[in-house]
Every structure is written in C-alpha cells, then in structure tokens.
Amino acid sequence: MTTPLVEMRDMQKSFGGIKAVDHVTIDLYPGEVVGVLGHNGAGKSVLMKMLSGALPRDGGEIFINGKKAVINNPRDARNHQIETIYQYLALADNLDAASNLFLGRELTTPLGFVDDALMEAETRKIMKRLNPNFRRFHTPVAGLSGGQRQSVAIARAVYFNAKILIMDEPTAALGVQETRMVAELIEQLKSEGIGIFLIDHDIHQVKAMCDRANVMKNGQLVGTVKVADVSEDDLLGMIIAGKCPPNGIPGPGAIQFA
C-alpha cells in the first residue's frame, strides 16, 4: 500500500475529567473516503478538530505523508493542505461564488485592485472541473441550493490545493437530488487522489460514500471496517453497542462477541 496521507496515532483529548478522545489511532490513504461515525459525544468531531488545528491535542502524533506534522492551529493545517468543510458552511451569503471562493485571498491586478474578472474566470475553471452543471456564478450564495453551496465550499478548498478534506455531515438537510450531487463531487475528488474524512452519523450515507469507516464510542475507537464488507446493521451495532464485527479491526473501545 502507499504511504497514508494522514496517520493519527494515539490521539488524546480531555475536558476536565472527561476523556473526549482516548488513545485513538486512524489513517487515511490517497483517493479514499473514510467515515468517522458515532453518536453525539462519541469524540468524532473532537478528533477531527485536532487534525484541523481547531483544538490542541493532549497527546498523540499526526503524520502527513509519512512525516511528523506540527499542527497547533488552522493555519498549520492549511500549510499541510488540510481543509475543513463544516456542516454549516462558512460562506458569505451576500456574495457570489467567486467572491466566496477568494474571500480573504482575493486576486489583484498589478496596480493592487481586486481583479473580479480573473476571480470569476478562475471560479468557472474550477467549477467546470468539479461541477460542470453549475451556472449561477452571479447569484449570491444565499440563493443557491444546498448542493450548489457545497460545490462552492469544496471548490474553495480544492482551488487552494487541499489534499486532505474533513467534511462534516455534507448531506445533512439535503434532498435526494442534492445528496446525489454531493456524492458525485466526492467521487470526483477521490479520482484526483484527494483523501476525505467524512464525519457522520447517517449509516446510509456512510455505506453509499465511504470506503472504510471508523466508529467511536465514549471517546474510544470501537473498530475500523471496510464498508463493502459490513451491513448497515453491523455499523449500527458498532455505534450503539460497541460491537466490532469479526471482519473488522477492533479498537480499544470494542466489546467482543459472545
């Protein structure tokens, strides 16, 4: 196998006396979608926030492309080509796609003025690659559908050379057609060798979109499974009861089958 894009080894995070992430080890390979599942409070979001630099870790190590990485803040994460796309997309509703894509990183003319024409041209280029059906370039993103808004957020991450994406419930509150659009975007990203951590609790979406899944419970890793090798009931049993199926790799948080 190739070197993992990401290895998170023995990750630890506590809040007071509560171990939110308790010695968790997971990895991600190029062109792979890895689900991170669990109930609210299981530790999945805290684990991913340590990778994104949003939370400092109490212990553990992060390796990017086999090299130990120092990630103390979101800027460090971006320097390692890690981008996060949150469930509630960090988009400026009153601005169009191009203005959002380059928000805070605007392209300028030689005289230092914002180059709106160049930003629109670059936005059209990246959208043609990711979502050729996107046409509403001059519409404020508040007027876009959920799937189109996801397209803008993903395009912003990919344009600035993200190789590792953390996606937080990307299909939450989307209809069937919009969910299909996001799934197609994810397939395109996979084909380009981008690795994706997908935070979710919807086992149907995990089965549809992920290659592997890591299930957490009470801050610990229940186990890692190949999604194609397990049923939705298997995943549900991992989430609710902490049971890792026989064809999975159990973690410290797994209970054994009788």
Average pLDDT, the chain: 92
Helix, strand, coil share of the chain (percent; to 5)? 35, 25, 40
At residue 89, the pLDDT reads: 65
Helices within the chain (DSSP H only): 44-52, 74-79, 97-101, 116-130, 146-159, 176-191, 203-209, 232-241
Q: How many domains does the chain have?
A: 1
| Per-residue pLDDT tens over the stretch 201-255 | 889 989 999 999 999 999 999 999 999 999 999 999 999 999 999 999 999 988 8
Q: Flag whether 40 is in a domain.
A: no
Q: Flag whether 154 is in a domain.
A: yes
Q: Flag whether 254 is in a domain.
A: no
Q: Flag whether 144 is in a domain.
A: yes
pLDDT for 198 beyond 60: yes
| Per-residue pLDDT tens over the stretch 73-120 | 999 999 999 999 886 667 899 999 999 999 988 999 999 999 999 999
Q: Flag whether 55 is in a domain.
A: no
Among 93, 2, 16, 15, smallest CA distance to 49 is for 15
Among 221, 172, 222, 168, smallest CA distance to 199 is for 168
Percentage of residues of the chain with pLDDT beyond 70: 97
In whole angstroms, what is the distance from residue 3 CA to residue 118 CA? 37
At residue 258, the pLDDT reads: 44
pLDDT for 150 beyond 90: no
Which two tokens mark 126? 């990246």
Percentage of residues of the chain with pLDDT beyond 90: 71
Q: Write out the residue range of the structural domain in which residue 105 sits.
A: 90-161
Residues near 238 by Cβ (< 8 Å), separated by ≥ 6?
A: 37, 215, 217, 222, 223, 225, 244, 245, 248, 254
**Cα radius of gyration rounded to whole Å, the chain:** 19
At residue 164, the pLDDT reads: 96
Partnered with residue 195 across adjacent β-strands are: 164
Q: Confidence band (pLDDT; 50, 70, 90) for 161?
A: confident
pTM: 0.90
Q: Flag whether 137 is in a domain.
A: yes
pLDDT for 70 beyond 70: yes
Q: Confidence band (pLDDT; 50, 70, 90) for 145?
A: confident
**Is 196:32 a contact under the CB 8 Å cutoff?**
yes
User: Angle CA(149)–CA(154)–CA(157) in degrees, nearest 5?
Assistant: 135
Token pair 């370039």 in the structure block, residue: 137
Q: Flag whether 233 is in a domain.
A: no
Q: Flag whether 28 is in a domain.
A: no
Q: Give the rounded distance of the alpha carbon of 136 from its chain centre.
A: 25
